[in-house]
């Protein structure tokens, strides 16, 4: 499963919950204080949403955040690659640009898979 697949699955789940609540995309966008175009991009899997955005969507839909994730997760739990140095999935399996030895984010100072530049890339 690719990063794109994960985002598309998440967007489809959000859309499914919205439709089952008889809510338009515009209504959900208003509930979340988003532009309709942003909600459209989220539902189509075109953007990587933040934790806070997911929270706002869950509140806008009136469901707990866990409801956005079928069976508590998105996807099948199998990824095509590892995280690359920019925090994205790498489909070549290497997941690194040579800075981190295990394919996780590093600025070249560490090889333990932790971000050594002080930036948070999300849960790994």
Domain limits, the chain:
3-72, 80-119
Q: In whole numbers, what is the pLDDT of the chain averaged over residues?
A: 73
Q: What is the pLDDT of residue 70?
A: 67
Question: Which of the four pLDDT bands, split at 50, 70 and 90, describes residue 1?
Answer: confident
**DSSP per-residue letters across 17-84:** HHHHTT--HHHHHHHHT--HHHHHHHHTT-S---HHHHHHHHHHHTS-GGGGSGGGSSS-S--SSEE-
Q: What is the pLDDT of residue 2?
A: 85
Residue 89 has pLDDT above 90, yes or no: no
Render pLDDT for 26-82 as a digit per residue (tens, 0 to 9).
Answer: 999 999 999 999 999 999 999 999 999 999 999 999 999 989 986 666 555 565 555
Residue 123 has pLDDT above 90, yes or no: no
> For domain 3-72, which architecture applies?
Orthogonal Bundle (1.10)
């Amino acid at each position: 499963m690719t990063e794109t697949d994960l985002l598309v699955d998440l967007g489809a789940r959000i859309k499914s919950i919205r439709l089952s609540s008889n809510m338009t995309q515009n209504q959900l966008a208003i509930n979340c204080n988003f532009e309709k175009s942003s909600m459209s991009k989220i539902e189509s899997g075109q953007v990587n949403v933040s934790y806070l955005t997911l929270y706002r969507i869950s509140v806008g839909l009136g469901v707990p955040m866990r409801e956005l994730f079928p069976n508590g997760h998105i996807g099948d739990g199998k990824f095509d690659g590892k995280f690359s140095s920019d925090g994205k999935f790498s489909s070549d399996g290497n997941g690194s640009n040579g800075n981190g030895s295990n394919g996780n984010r590093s600025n070249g100072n560490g090889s333990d898979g932790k971000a050594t530049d002080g930036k948070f890339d999300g849960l790994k």
